[in-house]
Amino acid sequence: MQPLPSAPILVDQVYRRLMTAIADRTLPPGRRIRQGELAESLGVSRQPISHALQLLKHQGLVRESGRQGLEVAPMDPDRIRHLYRVRSALDELSARDAAERVAAGDSTASERADLAAIVAKGSAFDPDIPLPVLVQADVDFHQRLYAMSSNPVVIEILDPQWPHLRRSMLTVLEGGSYRRRAWEEHAEIARLVLAGDAEAASRASRRHAEIAGEETALRLKGEAATD
Amino acid sequence: MQPLPSAPILVDQVYRRLMTAIADRTLPPGRRIRQGELAESLGVSRQPISHALQLLKHQGLVRESGRQGLEVAPMDPDRIRHLYRVRSALDELSARDAAERVAAGDSTASERADLAAIVAKGSAFDPDIPLPVLVQADVDFHQRLYAMSSNPVVIEILDPQWPHLRRSMLTVLEGGSYRRRAWEEHAEIARLVLAGDAEAASRASRRHAEIAGEETALRLKGEAATD
DNA sequence: GTGCCGAATTCGGAATTCCGAATTCGTATT
DNA sequence: AATACGAATTCGGAATTCCGAATTCGGCAC
């Protein structure tokens, strides 16, 4: 038997709630954070709020506002660019390992099918798909790839970074022009991984992250300039 | 004028204290953690202790012990091995960027001198150097390289992982046989970076992390077997 | 003597309260 | 009317208290 829902563990609930709120820009960059407000609106005491904010601060999603208290961290195009360079390196690693696992016959049929399904979903160029769903598909694609590399550390280490990436992706995909290209690249990466071509898959994966990073930094800087 | 020491911020103090204690194995893997105990021994209430433990849990340095409460996370040879693979990818990236910055003349004299000094210190094959100091030199070397790559995200993302690495390095370096080789490789990497040879530096850096990872996983597994 | 049931203790998470610091608003003085 | 001083409010961190759950220990029955 499983231990069942166990305790609610408010800290964790609050943490996740706030993280998604920041990722989907419900809490926009720069928004002032007041512990008391959040506590009241979520119906809990300030204690778990404080804990969760501590975690988010370490994660760079909130920061101390100049005067007093915290605010949602603004998007920093430069930081995003550097983050994409890190992703380039790790995506390359994961794609290589994933392709090698496929080639060695160590991958399961369900993970391969799952990867293909995600690509199919994102590649269906339907303008009606709401943006958050598309972003989710993007995140799913890359995380699936990480999982297929069988290196849990890659997932762990990048997990706290995804909210940053989600936020910026929302901005970039608003434009719409990059969407088709991104999913063409995803499809190509998936094809190479599923074919077990480690060398080509790793190159394509690294290149994809590099391109996405440049694209994103460009858009974010443009955004900032038009503010 | 600077804001001066400002508030003590116990959470942070406690966090750092516990982190170093785990890293240097003052709190050995598996050690049971009791909030009340820590609170008393540090002379603070349980509140900041609880906050800090929350952070450490997210960092994987403590985990819920089977029964109740927390314990210092045991060293997981498999996880360390995966972690070193991540480091391989990021070390390669950093070494390349650092070398390119040197080649482009973007590096400062003091960072170059600092790197050389660290290598000189570690390479002085003096068996009297206490282990923690040697470990510190190792960490310093790699973090200096990260800093020279001018990609702050690499530093941020790996920062929470260093305590894990420190712990395992303490175990590996106890043997002593790997020490000389490690610092020969460090010296070679530094030489290539300072020469601005991005391609060779990145290759050497990746290789070094791969070798260190294998060496470490081997020792840790041997250690576990002899328990 | 062994095993099981229950009460006391332990422990961690959450709520409430307290405190110091910073901000803000109001008033008085120039 | 503008500015400067000061009191009230706001806010976050820390301490204390409370509560539910799990563990442990003692006693009782078999």
Please write the tens of the pLDDT for every residue from B58-104. 999 999 887 678 899 999 999 999 999 999 999 999 999 999 999 99
pLDDT recorded at residue B173: 84
User: CA–CA separation, A89 vs A86, rounded Å?
Assistant: 5
Average pLDDT over residues A92-115: 96
How do residues B31-41 score in pLDDT, each as one tens digit?
989 888 888 88
Length A137 CA → C21 C1' (Å) = 46
Average pLDDT over residues B153-163: 97
**What's chain A's average pLDDT?**
90
Average pLDDT over residues B132-143: 94
User: CA–CA separation, B188 vs B183, rounded Å?
Assistant: 8
Length B5 CA → D5 C1' (Å) = 27
pLDDT recorded at residue A99: 98
The percentage of chain A sitting over the pLDDT mark of 90, rounded to a whole number, equals 66
- Smallest Cα–Cα separation from B73: which of B88, B84, B63, B65? B63
Q: Are A50 and A35 in contact (CB under 8 A)?
A: yes
CB contact under 8 A, B86 and A60: no
Q: Looking at the predicted structure, is the pLDDT value of residue A6 above 80?
A: no
CB-to-strand D contacts below 7 angstroms: A 3, 6-7, 33-36, 46-47, 50, 53, 68-70; B 7-11, 44-48, 51, 66-68
pLDDT recorded at residue A224: 63
Q: Which of B55, B89, B152 sits opposite A89 (nearest CB)?
A: B89
**Chain B neighbours among A 142-171 (CB < 8 Å)?**
151-154, 156-158, 161
Q: Looking at the predicted structure, is the pLDDT value of residue B19 above 80?
A: yes
Q: Are A29 and A80 in contact (CB under 8 A)?
A: no
Average pLDDT over residues A164-179: 87
Q: Could you tell me which residue, A227 or B17, shows the higher pLDDT?
A: B17
A185, HSE (Cβ side, Cα atoms, 13 Å): 19
Query: Which is it for the CA torsion A32, A35, A41, A42, positive or negative?
Result: positive
Q: Range with the lowest mean pLDDT among A136-150, B51-65, B186-200?
A: B51-65
Q: Which residue of B has its CA nearest to A55?
A: B55
Number of neighbouring beta carbons within 10 Å of residue B157 = 21
pLDDT band at B27 (very low <50, low <70, confident <90, very high): very high
- Give the domains, in start order, of chain A with CATH numbers: 10-72 (1.10.10.10), 77-226 (1.20.120.530)
Q: Are B64 and B70 in contact (CB under 8 A)?
A: yes
How do residues A57-75 score in pLDDT, each as one tens digit?
999 999 988 767 899 999 9
Q: Does A92 touch chain B (CB under 8 A)?
A: yes
Q: Looking at the predicted structure, is the pLDDT value of residue A165 above 50?
A: yes
Q: Looking at the predicted structure, is the pLDDT value of residue B7 above 80?
A: no
User: How close, in Å, is residue A222 to chain B by CA atoms?
Assistant: 22
The percentage of chain B sitting over the pLDDT mark of 70, rounded to a whole number, equals 93
Stated as kind and residue range, the H or E segment containing A72 is: strand A70-72
pLDDT band at A4 (very low <50, low <70, confident <90, very high): very low
ipTM of predicted complex: 0.88
- What value does the CA radius of gyration of chain B take, rounded to a whole number of Å? 19
CB contact under 8 A, B151 and A93: no
pLDDT band at A221 (very low <50, low <70, confident <90, very high): confident
Q: Could you tell me which residue, A178 or A139, shows the higher pLDDT?
A: A139
Residue B63 pairs in a beta bridge with B71
User: How close, in Å, is residue B97 to chain A by CA atoms?
Assistant: 10
Average pLDDT over residues A159-170: 95
Average pLDDT over residues B185-209: 97
Q: Looking at the predicted structure, is the pLDDT value of residue A93 above 90?
A: yes
Q: Looking at the predicted structure, is the pLDDT value of residue B16 above 80?
A: yes
The counts of H helices and E strands in chain B are 10, 3
- The highest-confidence range among A60-69, B40-49, B106-115, by mean pLDDT, is B106-115
Q: Does B55 touch chain A (CB under 8 A)?
A: yes
